[in-house]
Amino acid sequence: MSDAPLATRALRSLDLTDLTDTCTDQAIDALCKKALDPHGPVAAVCVWPQFVKRAQENLRGSLVRIATVVNFPAGGEDVSRVTDDTQEALSDGANEIDLVLPYEALRRGDVTVAAEMVEAVRDLVDQGRLFKVILETGELKDPALIEAASRLAIDAGADFIKTSTGKTPVSATPEAAEIMLKAIKTSGKPVGLKPSGGIRTVADAKIYLDLADRIMGSGWATPQTFRIGASSVYDALIAAIEGRAGTTATGTY
């Protein structure tokens, strides 16, 4: 059976990402050109805050949304700094904010600072914009802690919960995604899932789409409720859609 339908589904739910330390204006131009591929377009590009305006120039008039990151990647605990950064990113034209949860605070049992930050950013992300909370599940490790982080983010108003920054040794895993999906289902709230980091092949993307279909139902995973955060899977998805042999993944995310 052809992988093309699956690859098309994954491509249209892709947050095409460049969060490399060496990112340039030219890299953003190339990223945005990929985002507008006729087989897509992708759901969003995800870029550093300083490149939001550049992405906006490239994507003006398209349906591709612009996501950016705050409190990234360390997951610090300075709420006022993070709200300032969020306000600036929104003013620059970001449609989606991906916030790193203060996961170290959660690990030591300080739920208050984590909830306060999520709620403060939630208050700023309005008017049809999306708010994603990155749990950094590879650092939380403990399934009970991943579940607690998922519940905290959902209760505090996240539109999506996201596995990872892609900057730690362990990024997205099916085990973490399953815990997160079950937390979403239990909540009964219209919250989406974004596995991110380390998704490099069509088979990788299929794992997460299959999980979503199994737990949430076959019609649930659309770009409104499901995103894949990646850079390196793009070429493999395009190759599968075009019926070419598997393409070696390029990119770090």
Q: Report the pLDDT value the prediction gives residue 234, as an integer from 0 to 100.
A: 97
Distance in angstroms between the alpha carbons of the first and the last residue of the chain: 28
Q: Can you tell me the distance from the alpha carbon of 131 to that of 128, in angstroms, rounded to the nearest whole number?
A: 10
Q: Which helix (H) or strand (E) holds 84?
A: helix 79-92
> How does pLDDT run across 187-232, given as a tens digit for each residue?
999 999 999 999 999 999 999 999 999 999 999 999 999 999 999 9
Q: Can you tell me the distance from the alpha carbon of 161 to that of 154, in angstroms, rounded to the nearest whole number?
A: 8
Average of pLDDT values for 146-160? Answer: 98
Residues labelled as active-site residues: 98, 162, 194
User: At 38, which amino acid appears?
Assistant: P
Q: Report the pLDDT value the prediction gives residue 247, as an integer from 0 to 100.
A: 53
How far is CA 48 from each of CA 12, 19, 91, 125, 226, rounded to the nearest angstrom? Answer: 21, 6, 14, 17, 21
Q: Which residue has the tokens 């139902």?
A: 217
Query: Is residue 65 classed as helix, strand or coil in its secondary structure?
Result: strand
Tell whether the model's pLDDT for residue 245 goes beyond 90.
no
> How does pLDDT run across 32-80, given as a tens digit for each residue?
999 999 999 999 999 999 999 999 999 999 999 999 999 999 999 999 9
Taking the model in full, what pTM does it have? Answer: 0.96
Tell whether the model's pLDDT for residue 112 goes beyond 90.
yes
Average of pLDDT values for 128-139? Answer: 97
> How does pLDDT run across 68-85, given as a tens digit for each residue?
999 999 999 999 999 999
Taking each helix axis from N to C terminus, what angle separates 111-124 and 143-155, rounded to the nearest 10 degrees?
A: 40
CB distance 252 to 232 below 8 Å: yes
Distance of CA 22 to the CA centre of its chain: 20
Q: What is the mean pLDDT of the chain?
A: 96
List, in order, residues 6 or more apart from 18 with CB less than 8 Å away.
27, 28, 31, 45, 46, 47, 48, 51, 231, 253
Both tokens assigned to 184: 């979403």
Backbone angles phi, psi at 67, to 5 degrees: -105, 145
CB distance 216 to 182 below 8 Å: no
Query: Is residue 187 classed as helix, strand or coil in its secondary structure?
Result: helix
Q: What share of the chain in percent tops pLDDT 70?
A: 97
Of the pLDDT bands very low, low, confident and very high (cuts 50, 70, 90), residue 246 is low
Of the pLDDT bands very low, low, confident and very high (cuts 50, 70, 90), residue 2 is confident
> How does pLDDT run across 85-102, given as a tens digit for each residue?
999 999 999 999 999 999
